[in-house]
A and B are shown apart, each in its own frame.
Chain A
Amino acid sequence: MTAGQRTARWAKRLGALTWKELLQLSRDLPLLLFLIYSFSLSVLVSGVGITMQLTNAEVLVHDEDQSPSSRELIHRFQPPYFALVGTIRDARQGLQQLDQGRAMMVLGIPPRFHEALVSGERTAVQLLVDTTNAPQGLSAAAYTLRIAVPFGSETALGSAGLSGTKTSMPLVSSEHRVWFNPTQDERWFQSISHLLRMITLFAVLLPAAALVREKERGTVEQLLVSPLSPFQIMFSKVLAMSGVILLATALALYGVLHPWFHVPMKGSALLFFLLTALHVFTTAGFGLMAATLAKNQAQVAMMALFFVGPMLLLSGITSPFESMPQWVQGIMTLSPLRYYIDITYGVMLKGAGLDLLWKPVGAMLLLGGTLFGAGMWRFRRQFQ
């Protein structure tokens, strides 16, 4: 047997094993359905369902002045951030409404508001904010400040005859340019994050479940007495599951993200899929390690959650990586997801190529190789 023939035979066996894995998966209908659902409907729902930004915050107004200035100020509280839901007569009513949850904030304009502003006196408006949701409460207060304070100086300076046009005063205005997501469309963010989470989750669970299923049924011994090497056994699982996940990702990308949310693919799509495959391999390494340690599927599930849960939430999906505390950042260097996030956003939204992404890619290769090697080693040990 020449080396060439031997390699061909090895490859053929690997192919046969991979095909067997795919067949087994296809016979598991609930799992398949769940897979398809997670990568299509689920992504769609995540995009339209949640929003973390302040939208339509209900504002009640308690206007004790009823002057042109107060009306102008109230007028500046516009959607999408605010929604004026009504006016109230006294302060107690306002508190009541907040208690009942009918509004999120109450804006109180004192009497003599207009007079004070035009005659150069100080005055203040009151704001009661419901901060059971801390960031939103803070956001609401911040936006209010942003609206009210400039309004105050505009009016005062205007009536003092100073700002005929805005071109005669030393103002520093900022021109914001938002890159990569110019419309700040939150749906892009939510749907992409959800897709990343699904990919990672399945990449961990699918191969692990497959391996442990075999352990339970006892078919691993059958595999081992055959002329197949442990590497082929493990690798075929990973190959099969990666293929499936890549297909599912394509489904999500071209079935939901592009048509519904208009998420662009500024970089090369091929690169994205290649790197996704790399991520799946690396994460599958995690799963396989867990599978070699567990005796039944219950344990695999627990362990997967144990590691995957924190990984999913702390790798920088919902909030940027650099805003995590130092010790979290340290631990998460071991998380392939953390690099994958950079890669995905890099390729999709920023149009980056390998020249800019070589660092995270390199890190993932290293991580994946180590995990895989360790898993393999354990696997061999267990059955010899």
Chain B
Amino acid sequence: MTKIEVVISPTGETRITTLGYSGSDCQTASRFLENALGIREKETLTSEFHTSAQQQSQTEEGI
């Protein structure tokens, strides 16, 4: 199950976390929120992002 968590601090700063996505799908999924809420200040790609991207690449090379 995919979801997006948005934590808004008492001072209005926002942190968006995507959960359950594979590869770069997470960036596509949250883009509507990032664009709507303001200016992107920092992005952190997690290990799941890179692992899924590598698996996709290896699968395509095996064809």
A and B: interacting chains = no
Instruction: State the A residues within 8 Å of B (CB).
Output: none
